[in-house]
Amino acid sequence: MTDKKDDEMHGPKAGAGLSRRSLLAGSAGLTFAGALGGQALAQAPGGAAVNRSAHMSYAGANSPSGRLYQVNPGMTEHNDIAHDPAEIPPPLTRREPQTVRVDLETVELEAHLDANSTFRFWTFNARVPGPFIRVRVGDTVECYLKNAEDSWMAHNVDFHAATGPGGGAVLTTSMPGEEHAFRFKTLNPGLYVYHCAVPPVAMHIANGMYGMILVEPEEGLAPVDREFYVMQGEIYTEEAFGTAGLLTESYDKLINERPEYFVFNGHVSALTEHFPLKANVGETVRIFFGVGGPNFTSSFHVIGEIFDRVYQAASLTSSPLTNVQTVTVPSGGAAVVEFKCDVPGRYVLVDHALSRAERGLAGYLIVEGDEQPEIFAPIGEPPDPSMSGH
């Protein structure tokens, strides 16, 4: 996107060192057996330990939740499609409408899906989600969409922020090598999804063709210390979850709504060890959260945090909800959440439909800074009975 006055990007600043105790404390809410790399044990009648791993599809280090939190090896910018959540334009400072040009290129490319597999993603600008577009209410957006020459499919873009038939989809439908453009005026402030709308629409979305556009209200947004861009999606493959190699999309699973993968920002582990969100104690965080889908609603939650403010349905001109634990975001919808980072540690972004964590869905927010024992701390170990004099 090109904006005449507001075209700089920003990311999180480095913070103070992160102690091991902070990491352990901040991770206390995440207790998946697989993530700990151990076997699930239970007590059978009579007190005998029973290994439940024998009754699970995955166990120990091979558990999906164990695989969630590892860096995809050999990752380079040429075979990774994950969008860095901190890579978004800064807040707008201007208060007058302008004409803003947006350039989108639809690119199909093979890239990592997880540590052991790849997938042919369909993307906007070779990232999933596509670029975060930031404009102001009253702006005129001129969108130029080019379909790469080596694409296999036709592509287009439908902006939920546009008022007009198809959101621009018909006007931008492009065969490989073609380019089309259209303009629309941003009449309504809010955070909106955009996506490809070439039939079968759900297939284009599931393969990675979604993103968001923020239309700031006239007065702008209240300042915060950090802003992040996170989107949830589903991937439907012929092969079972965890299969190694190049995977292929499955139309049958798509129309029956049986995804093999759930992901934040494109692929498994994108927001854990790869692009974790980062902040410091005392800072206020804003997350622009959306669901590309194409089918499933998200129950967005950050383990160990409470949202101070939630702009439900991304209605930026409505009063926010306060003190919220989990926010429901439908497919094709969005929400904006804000909270202060009070305690250092590692916080986990999840869909609280937690079975989806076993299919790839998790992210990290790493908060650095001094311990805050008055807010969160372990209680000391109980005294040794042998020293009590009894």
The DSSP line for 90-142 is PPP---S--EEEEEEEEEEEEEEEETTEEEEEEEETTBBS-PPEEEETT-EEE
Q: What is the pLDDT of residue 75?
A: 53
Q: What is the pLDDT of residue 384?
A: 58
Q: What is the pLDDT of residue 328?
A: 98
| Cβ neighbours of residue 116 closer than 8 Å, sequence gap 6 or more | 242, 243, 244, 245
The reply to whether 208 and 235 lie within a common domain is: no
Comparing 72-76, 122-126, 194-198, 308-312, the range with the smallest average pLDDT is 72-76
Q: Is the pLDDT of residue 31 over 50?
A: no
| Count of the separate structural domains present in the chain | 2
The reply to whether 230 and 361 lie within a common domain is: yes
The reply to whether 351 and 245 lie within a common domain is: yes
CA distance 113 to 235: 9
The reply to whether 204 and 239 lie within a common domain is: no
The reply to whether 211 and 252 lie within a common domain is: no
The reply to whether 106 and 207 lie within a common domain is: yes
The reply to whether 243 and 210 lie within a common domain is: no
pTM above 0.85, yes or no: no
Let me know if residue 33 belongs to a domain.
Answer: no
The reply to whether 197 and 115 lie within a common domain is: yes
Q: For the stretch 189-224, what's the b/e string if a residue is b when 16 or more beta carbons lie within 10 angstroms of its beta carbon?
A: bbbbbbbbbbeebbbbbbbbbbbbbbbbeeeebeee
Q: Are strands 140-147 and 298-303 parallel, antiparallel or unpaired?
A: unpaired
Let me know if residue 20 belongs to a domain.
Answer: no
Let me know if residue 158 belongs to a domain.
Answer: yes
The pLDDT of 8-16, averaged and rounded, is 36
Kindly report, residue by residue over 134-159, the tens digit of the pLDDT: 999 999 999 999 999 999 999 999 99
The pLDDT of 209-220, averaged and rounded, is 97
Q: What is the pLDDT of residue 86?
A: 98
> What backbone phi and psi angles, to 5 degrees, belong to 255?
-70, -20
The reply to whether 185 and 238 lie within a common domain is: no
CATH number of the domain within which 233 lies: 2.60.40.420
Let me know if residue 374 belongs to a domain.
Answer: no
- Which residue did the predictor score with more confidence, 240 or 72? 240
Q: Is the pLDDT of residue 109 over 50?
A: yes
The reply to whether 160 and 111 lie within a common domain is: yes
Kindly report, residue by residue over 74-102, the tens digit of the pLDDT: 555 557 899 999 999 999 999 899 999 99
CA distance 60 to 64: 9
Let me know if residue 255 belongs to a domain.
Answer: yes
pLDDT band at 16 (very low <50, low <70, confident <90, very high): very low
Domain boundary (196, 216, 236) is at: 216
Let me know if residue 41 belongs to a domain.
Answer: no
Domain boundary (164, 198, 216) is at: 216
The reply to whether 136 and 239 lie within a common domain is: no
Q: What is the pLDDT of residue 273?
A: 79
Let me know if residue 60 belongs to a domain.
Answer: no
Contact between residue 144 and residue 181 where contact means Cβ atoms under 8 Å apart: yes
The reply to whether 126 and 257 lie within a common domain is: no
Domain boundary (173, 197, 216) is at: 216
CA distance 331 to 291: 5
| Domain that residue 107 falls in | 99-216
Let me know if residue 106 belongs to a domain.
Answer: yes
